[in-house]
Amino acid sequence: MMIIDRFEGKFAIIELEKGKFLQIPREILPPEAREGDVITLKIDRKQTAQRRRKVEELLQELRKD
């Protein structure tokens, strides 16, 4: 679990488990994020697969030359 502990200027201080903290740019959080909010990270498998296909296509084009 990650909790927004506080904001310091352009950064959000995120409390992690076991009393550890992480500083992230405030701009990557939704504008409505507030101190005490619980945040999560998610992996977008669909976009990941699309990006991998695109990179593979570009590599194949480079190998042709």
pLDDT of the chain, 65 residues: tens digit per residue: 899 999 999 999 999 999 999 999 999 999 999 999 999 999 999 999 999 999 999 999 999 86
Cα–Cα distance list, 28 to 12, 18, 25, 32, 52 (Å): 9, 24, 6, 11, 23
Report the SS3 class of residue 13. strand
Which ranges constitute the DSSP H helices of 1-65? 45-64
CA 25/CA 12 separation, integer angstroms: 6
In the chain, the amino acid numbered 60 is Q
* pTM for the whole structure: 0.72
